[in-house]
Structure 1
């Protein structure tokens, strides 16, 4: 059985799955199955967000296995239940891991992607991975954040022929969603520890939520005045933006961000000015006829530099 070490050195977005090799020869996956989806780590400013699915035959009664909303369980109880799920050949699971760096990259990128969009894509991933393993999924239960009806309609369009039940607190109502909740929470907790060790980050991080005093203290102790925070931190969170202000951090202003700058009206090419001229102003070109490398980066010719 594969280990569930989930943090990689490049902190890329990792999709982890144990089910394909373990369950492909199990006959029950070809019978009608139910699947539950839940997440862990949506709100924290530290660490990854994990989406997980768990699935089993419709005919299985898993109501007596102690599965519950992972937030209501102790760390020891979650670990014990995860080990039981992981060794149960009558249950499959999938985990999709989005690192803090991955989340920040998409939320702060040129073409911004919302956290809800990332969450929807992750939900589709854990469902699709279960289907690709050969599981005959007929009914899916999803814990939702936001409008449940709209979420159900989008999922139904993405996976026609499957019946979806989408509602808040599904992890408390449906044992198969509770199982997914346990998988997601255990993997997030382990990933957070693994990432700290790999990055050699010291100190108590607390729960990772912005309202946690221990987490805020850890963040303040790990600010680089120019580079910001280490990769464990979601720079896209407002908590980080507020902290990256003087005097804790250095204020950096780019000429292209100046509303009164030459490029404000979009009539001329913006430039980044790293030098001073000796009495001669820089003449901006239109960029026409220049290589795309220079036009995309809005780089200008500099004729005289001190």
Structure 2
């Protein structure tokens, strides 16, 4: 469909924008239109294009560590954990193998995303991933082994849970005790698309798990604080004492042991 855009009202132009994608020639014509409302439409389009181009460039950069393996048709897994710092609940690790065709440009460190965006990406990652494995390290394991070693063991469990065996692991700031070559990346969830995907899977999985624990153990605010030491959580500890998912070796939880 070709339009003489100068003859259309601004309302009609906005309607056309909702109905179809405009061509380069269409946008060129609109850019020549002197009406202020049309110029605002053009500027909004230019800002959207710039944002999309920046997102695409950032995504390509975050594929840097995966590309050598994809080019050799090898599988590479991103590994990340969530929940090392809370006073209650498990540590959760996700291992994610993405295909070279992955096109989810917004995959990033889960902490940089809204809760709604994380849930949207969670669903889309599950749909597109080659393989996903989630492992849970219990509060008992954390108390027994210490949080760092418990996280290592849970990472190994997540890797073992993959149906497809990766040729290489990309890990966020830790070493996984398995016999697979791996690269440890500081702030890897923001530098690698695979680790970023793993951070989203682990974060959403753990948050939903803590909401279920909140129903079993009310009064600590687990549905909102995910086990971190917020005012509501600390007040719950003071009035109710500890519950079965508290980490007994963590302060101030250990202060409430009988």
Which residue of 7, 10, 32 maps to 2:74? 32
Count how many residue pairs are aligned between Structure 1 and Structure 2.
185
Corresponding residue for 1:21? none
| CA–CA separation in structure 1 for the residues paired with 2:106 and 2:205 | 19
Q: CA deviation at 1:64?
A: 4.3
Corresponding residue for 1:165? 183
Question: Which stretches in structure 1 are left out of the alignment for 5+ residues?
Answer: 1-27, 107-112, 146-150, 224-228, 245-249, 251-306
| CA–CA separation in structure 1 for the residues paired with 2:243 and 2:141 | 13
| Counterpart check, 1:179 vs 2:219 | no
| CA–CA separation in structure 2 for the residues paired with 1:97 and 1:121 | 10
Q: CA deviation at 1:202?
A: 3.5
| Counterpart check, 1:100 vs 2:132 | no
| CA–CA separation in structure 2 for the residues paired with 1:96 and 1:141 | 17
Please give the secondary structure, in 1, of the residue aligned with 2:151.
helix
| CA–CA separation in structure 2 for the residues paired with 1:209 and 1:48 | 11
Q: Are the aligned partners of 2:220 and 2:232 in contact in 1 as well (CA < 8 Å)?
A: no
Q: Are the aligned partners of 1:62 and 1:175 in contact in 2 as well (CA < 8 Å)?
A: no
Q: CA deviation at 1:38?
A: 0.3
Which residue of 234, 237, 246 maps to 2:247? 234
Please give the secondary structure, in 1, of the residue aligned with 2:252.
helix
Please give the secondary structure, in 1, of the residue aligned with 2:122.
helix
| Counterpart check, 1:114 vs 2:146 | yes
Q: Are the aligned partners of 1:69 and 1:181 in contact in 2 as well (CA < 8 Å)?
A: yes
Question: Which stretches in structure 2 are left out of the alignment for 5+ residues?
Answer: 1-69
| Counterpart check, 1:191 vs 2:191 | no
Q: Are the aligned partners of 1:196 and 1:232 in contact in 2 as well (CA < 8 Å)?
A: no
TM-score, normalised relative to structure 2: 0.65
| CA–CA separation in structure 1 for the residues paired with 2:218 and 2:160 | 35
1:28-107 matches, within 5 Å, as 32-57=74-99, 60-62=100-102, 64-88=104-128, 90-104=129-143, 106=144
Corresponding residue for 1:138? 167
